[in-house]
Structure 1
Amino acid sequence: MNLIRTAAARISLLCIVLLLLSACGSKQEKDASVPTRSFTHDAGVTDVPVKPLRVASDQHMGHLIKLGIKPIAVRENMLKEEWIPYAKLDKDILTGIEDLGGFPLNLEKLASLDPDLIISALPNNQEQYSKIAPTVNIPYWSKSFTTPMDKFLKIAELFDKTAEANKWIEQFQKALTSARDKIYASGKLKEGQTVSVMAVFEKNVFVFGPNGAYGGYMIYDALKLKPTDKANDLRNKDMGSAELSLEAVPEYMGDHAFITVVNEAKAKELLESDFWKSTPAVKNNQVYFYDSKIFAMDDPYSLEAQLDVIANLLTGAK
């Protein structure tokens, strides 16, 4: 009886091994039959599917959806991004997208979803993701991207959707021109007046220049509003920004100032200071406060929302 049981167990184990080998062989055959092409990205060159069908990404969900690509899984924060309420997406567009946790993505769950392409925003995740599927590194911020449009076009290139990306860029440029005309027509901001962009954090204030975060790109590069000389000097700095003490803020203030508050206690200290109250922008009621969250990302949906926020503040629209 024991011999029979032992033989049966061995046969069962052999069957399992054969099934696993068969599955691996089938996957290799399937992978070998999928047409691929070389794609150059920030971490090197990777052979990717010509037509990826099961995409997982730890960043850039807004870019993907704007291109008509629904990822199978994303990082948890992507499903709660600030642009989502602004975008007015079809109610089912995000349904079924799996939550893979934070950085790095949950590798076990990621593997179980059998992606055929992974997009990574951080180079240090490249190696472990690549063991699961072809992985490309497209960072949140990179010197290879002069503007957010460059990043959008790079992601579009990955999916052979450059024409679709250019169509949206063209439409957005028209929206920018229309918004700029309305801003100057409102009379609130006059030609030649300067604008500053700042964010109040826990310890100090950051000022942003052209192509900078927290509205720097939208205000200076997209809407082409005029930066102060000091803000203009920040164009080639990392993230287009510089850290200031509270006392240095007036030196960077333009005729108009956009301020986003990340830390309310520090903002209160700034707003109650005599040097703040003495600046022309404050005296002329030309300081505009806005929510930082919608300015954290640079996908097409976020840019559309940012344009509405800035244009409404400068035209008095609701």
Structure 2
Amino acid sequence: MLRSQTVSAKLCLLTIVIVLLLAACSKQTNNSIQPTRAFEHEAGVTEVPVQPLRVASDQHMGHLLKLGVKPIAVRENMLKEAWIPYANLERDALEGIENLGGFPLNLEKLASLEPDLIISALPNNHESYSKIAPTVRIPYWSKSYTTPMDKLLKIAELFDKTAEANKWIKEFEGQLKDAQQKIAASGKLKEGQTVSVMAVFDKNVFVFGPNGAYGGYMIYDYLKLKPTDKAETLRDKEMGSAELSFEAVPEYMGDHAFITVVNEDKAKELLDSNFWKSIPAVMNDQVYFYDSKIFAMDDPYSLEAQLNIIVNLLTKAR
């Protein structure tokens, strides 16, 4: 009886081993026959699947979803993006997307999910991700992108979704025309008046120019509002920006100013300063504050939300 049980146990163990080996062989076979192509990106050229099915990313979730690509896993903050409440997403749009923690992604969990493609935004994570699956680097900001649309098209190229990207771009251009007409009709911005874009961070104020972050590209490049001469010189700077001391803020202020607050204590310090109330834009009640979280990103959903916010600020009575 004991010998019979021993034989049965050995047969059971052998069956399990065979099943695992067959599964491993099947996976290896599937991977080996999956067609690939060369994709050029910020970190070089990588062989990627022609049709990626299991995509993990530490950035760009909004771009992916707008293109119809649902990632299997993303960085934790992507699942709490400020644009999500503004977007008209399907109820289950985010269901099943795994949380991979912060930078760098949780490598053990990432590996367990068996992605066939990883998108990395930062250079120092690229090597570790590449040991798990083909990895391409598409940074948040790059001189390779003249506008946020360039980044969208680059991500679309990765998934053969250029037609979908161009469709959305055309729709957004229509929204921009409507917005420009509404702003002009409101009469709040007079012909020739200039506009400034600033953000208050932990230590100082940053000013943004054309193609700049935190609303720079939306206000100048898309809505065609006029920058100050100093803002115009920032077009080719890193993030299209420059750091200012409080004392330098008046030099960069236009007739109107859009300001996003990242650090509220520092913003209070600015607003309580001796020179603040003497700035013409402040005296004329032409300073507009908006949510920094919405303006921190440049995916299609964020751009749509930003557009609505700017139009509301410039067309509604205060």
Answer with 134-143 or 22-31: which moved more.
22-31
SS at match of 2:45: strand
Give the SS at the match of 1:181.
helix
The CA distance in 1 between the partners of 2:196 and 2:168, in whole Å, is 28
2:173 counterpart letter in structure 1: Q
The answer to whether the 8 Å contact 1:183/1:314 transfers is: yes
- 1:53 corresponds to: 53
Alignment of 1:231-250 (within 5 A): 231-250=231-250
Q: Which runs of 5+ in 2 are unaligned?
A: none
C-alpha distance in 1 between matches for 2:143 and 2:231: 19
Partner of 1:112: 112
Alpha-carbon distance in 2 for matches of 1:40, 1:127: 16
Q: 1:40, 1:202 → 2: CA distance?
A: 37
Q: Corresponding residue for 2:100? A: 100
Which whole-Å CA distance do the structure 1 matches of 2:210 and 2:45 have between them? 31
Match of 1:220 in 2: 220
Aligned residues: 318
Q: CA deviation at 1:23?
A: 4.0
- Counterpart in the other structure of 1:140: 140
Match of 2:158 in 1: 158
Larger deviation, residues 283-292 vs 27-36: 27-36
The secondary structure found in structure 1 opposite 2:202 is coil
Are the equivalent residues in 2 in contact too, given 1:58–1:121 (CA < 8 A)? yes
Whichever residue aligns with residue 239 of structure 2, its letter is M
Deviation, structure 1 residue 97: 0.7
Deviations 1:69-121, CA, capped at 9 Å, x for gaps: 11111111100000000002111111111111111111221122121111111
Counterparts of 2:47 and 2:106 in 1: how far apart (Å)?
A: 23
C-alpha spacing 1:317/1:71, structure 2 compared with 1 (3 Å): farther
Q: With structure 1 as the length reference, what TM-score do the two structures score?
A: 0.93
Give the % identical residues.
79
Please state whether the residue corresponding to 2:195 is helix, strand or coil. Answer: strand
Structure 2 residue matching 1:84: 3-state secondary structure: coil
Q: Tell me how far apart the structure 1 counterparts of residues 88 and 169 of structure 2 sit (CA, whole Å).
A: 19
Hey, what's the Cα distance between the residues in 1 that align with 2:70 and 2:317?
Answer: 34
C-alpha deviation, 1:56, in angstroms:
1.0
Alpha-carbon deviation of 1:294?
Answer: 0.2
Unpaired runs of 5+ residues, structure 1, are: none
Equivalence for 2:281: 281
1:140 maps to a residue whose letter is: Y
Q: Please name the residue that 1:296 is paired with.
A: 296
Structure 2 length normalisation: TM-score? 0.93
Classify the secondary structure of the residue corresponding to 2:86. Answer: helix
Structure 2 counterpart of 1:191: 191
